[in-house]
Amino acid sequence: MKKILIKLLGGEKLQMVRISLFSIIISLFVGAIIFIAMGKNPFSAYGNLLQGSGLLMKQKYAGRQNMFTDFMSFLDTLTPMIFAALAVAVALKAGLFNIGVSGMMLTAGFIATLTVGYSSLPAFLAKPLVLIIGAVSGALVGALIGWLKYRFNINEVVSSIMINYTLMYIFTFFINTFFLEPTSRQSIVIADEARLTLVNVKAFGLKFCIPLAFPLAIIVAILVRYLINRTTTGFEIQAVGLGKKAANYAGISISKNMMLAMIISGALAGLAGVTYFCGYNASIRPGVVPSMGFNAIAVALLGCCDPIGCIFASFLITAISNGSIYMSSQQGVEIEIADLITSVILIFAACSEFLRMYIEKISMEQNDKKDVKRV
C-alpha cells in the first residue's frame, strides 16, 4: 500500500498536481459509493453530470438545444469561478487568505449594476465599462483589507468577514429600498447592453448564450501566471508568501507586496463579481453572500494555487454543479448530491499538504529500510 502511494505520489515532478488528482479520484469514488447506496449507477450518474454541462452528448435534446448550447451555458457559469479562484490564488501566493472574495464580488456586481447596468450606454461602451468598474471596485476592497493588515496588523481573515457582511447589508439595503423587482425579490435586471453574457442568441437553428468574458478569463489566467512566474513583482510576492524573513533580508518590502497582492486579488474578485452578477445573472439577490467566494478558496487549493490549475479545478467543480440539474432529473436524486461530492473533493484538497508530507515521510522510511538492508 505504502509503496503504491510512493510510486503514485512521490517525487517532486508535478507532485501537487498528482496529489490533487488523487484527491479528486478518491472523492469521486466516495461519491460513487453514495450513488450505489442510493441504488443508482454511479457511471451513468457521472455521465449525466458531464452531459448536463455539455461535455457529453445527451440522448435527446429539446428544441433549439444541443450539446453546444449546454456547453455554452457551462462556460457562462465557469467564467466567474475562474476569476474567483484566481483571486484566492494570487492572495495565497503572498501568504494571505482572501476570504473576502464574496464581498468583493458583491461590490463589483452592485457598483457596475448601478453605474452601467441601469444606464442606457451603448453596448460597446457599457460592456468594457462594466469590466473596468468591476475590477476597480474589487481592487478597492482588496486595498482596504491589505491596508488594514499592514497599517493596523488586523488579520485579513477577520477583516474580510466583517467587510463581507458589512458590504452585503449595505447593498441589500439599497437593493431592497431602491432597486427591487417585486416579483423576483431580486434587484432590477440590468440592461442587455451592459450584460457580459449575450443571452438567447439565435443562430444555426439553436438558442444559446455567449459568455463574452470567458476568453478574458483564460487570458487573465495566463497573464496572472506570467505575472507570478515571470516578473519581478511576482518574484517578490512569492518571496513574501514563502518566507517573510528571507524576503525582508533580500530587501523586498513585505507590506508593499502584501498590499499589491490584495489589490490584484481584489481586481480579480471584482471581475468574478461582474461576470457573475452582470453576466451569468443580470440581477443581485439581496441578503446573501455569494457562496462562490468561499468555494473559490477550496477550488484554488485544488488547483494547486496555480492560475492554470485554477482553470482546471474550476472546470471540474463547475461541471459537477452545473451538470447536477440534469443528473438530478435523470437519476431522480436530490440535486444537492452534486454539492456534496464537491465538498468531499474540497475536504480532500484541504488535506493535500498533509498527504504530501506523509508521502515524504514514508518514502524516507522506505529509503532507511533499504539502507539498512544494504548494510
Partner 1 sequence: MIDNIIIDGLAFALPMFIMAIGGIYSEKSGITNLALEGLQGFGAFFGAFTAVLLMQQFGGSSQVPYYISFIAAALGGMLFSLVHVLLCIKFKANQVISGVVVNILAAALTSFLTKRLNESIFGKTSNKFVLGTSIRFSVPGISGIPVIGAFFRNVYPFEVIIIIIAVIMWYVMYKTPFGMHLRACGDNPHAADAAGIDVNRIRLISVIISGGLSAIAGMSYAYSITANFSPDIYLGFGYLSIAALIFGNWSILPTLEACLIFGFARSGGQALIQQLGMPSTYNDIVRIIPYVVTLLLLVFFSKHNNSPRALGEIYDKGKR
Partner 2 sequence: MDSEYIIEMKHITKRFPGLVANDDVSISIKKGEIYALLGENGAGKSTLMSVLFGMYEPDEGEIFIRGEKVNIVSPRHATKLGIGMVHQHFRLVSNYTVAENIILGAEPQDKLMGFIPHVNIKKANQDIAELSDKYGLKVNPTAVISDLNVSTQQRVEILKMLYRDAEILIFDEPTAVLTPQEIKFLLDIIRGLRDGGKTIIIITHKLEEIKSIADRCAILNRGKLIDVLNVPEASTEELARLMVGRDISFTSEKSEAKPGEVVLKVEGLTVCNEVGYEAVKDVSFEIHSGEIFALAGVSGNGQNELADAIAGLIKTKSGRIILNGKDLSSYSIRKRTEEGVAYIPEDRHNVGLVLGFDLKKNLSLKEYYRPKMSHNSRLDLKAMTENGERLIKDYDIRSSKGINTIVRTMSGGNQQKAIIARELELQTPLIIFMQPTRGLDIGAISNIHKQMIAERDRGAAVLLISLELDEVMDCADTIGVIFDGRINRIAKASELTIDEVGRFMMGVGNRGESA
Could you give the CA distance from residue 261 to residue 255 in angstroms, rounded to a whole number? 10
Q: CA torsion 283→285→291→294, rounded to 10°?
A: 80
Cα–Cα distance measured from residue 105 to residue 96, given in angstroms and rounded to the nearest whole number: 18
Site string for partner 1, 40-79 (x = CB under 8 A): ----------------------------------------
Helix or strand holding residue 275 (H, E): helix 254-275
Q: Among the candidate windows 57-65, 181-189, 248-256, 306-314, which touches partner 2 by CB under 8 A?
A: 248-256
Please report, as residue ranges, which positions from 2 to 21 form the binding site for partner 2 (by CB under 8 A): 12
Stretch that binds partner 1, among 215-223, 264-272, 349-357, 359-367 (CB under 8 A): 349-357
Q: For residue 350, state whether it binds partner 1 (rule: CB under 8 A).
A: yes
User: Whole-angstrom Cα distance, residue 53 to residue 324?
Assistant: 9
Contact call for residue 89 and partner 2 (CB under 8 A): no
Could you give the angle at the alpha carbon of 74 between the alpha carbons of 73 and 79, nearest 5°?
100
Question: Which of partner 2, partner 1, none sits in contact with 120, Cβ below 5 to 8 A by type?
Answer: none
Residues 18-47 that bind partner 2 (CB under 8 A): none
* Residues 6 or more apart in contact with residue 365 via CB below 8 angstroms: none
What is the CB neighbour count within 10 angstroms for residue 329?
12
Burial grade of 233 (CB within 10 A; 0-12, 13-18, 19 or more): middle
Q: How many residues bind partner 2 (CB under 8 A)?
A: 19
164 binds partner 1 (CB under 8 A): yes
DSSP states along 161-173:
HHHHHHHHHHHHH
Out of 150, 165, 207, 256, which residue is the one contacting partner 1 (CB under 8 A)? 165
Query: What is the rounded distance in angstroms from the CA atom of residue 121 to the CA atom of residue 203?
Result: 26
Distance of closest approach, residue 334 Cβ to partner 1, in angstroms = 5
Q: Binding of partner 2 at residue 120 (CB under 8 A)?
A: no
Q: Which residues contact 38 (CB under 8 A, 6 or more apart)?
A: 333
Q: Candidates 105-113, 188-196, 264-272, 341-349 — which segment interacts with partner 1 by CB under 8 A?
A: 341-349
- Residue 167 Cβ, how far from partner 1 at the closest point, in Å? 9
Whole-angstrom distance, CA of residue 12 vs CA of residue 6: 11
* Residue count, binding to partner 1 (CB under 8 A): 48
Contact footprint for partner 2 (CB under 8 A): 12, 230-235, 238-239, 242-243, 245-252
Binding residues vs partner 1 (CB under 8 A): 97, 99, 148, 152-155, 157-159, 161-166, 168-170, 172-173, 176-177, 286-287, 289, 291, 294-295, 297-298, 301, 334, 336-337, 339-340, 342-344, 346-347, 349-351, 353-354, 357
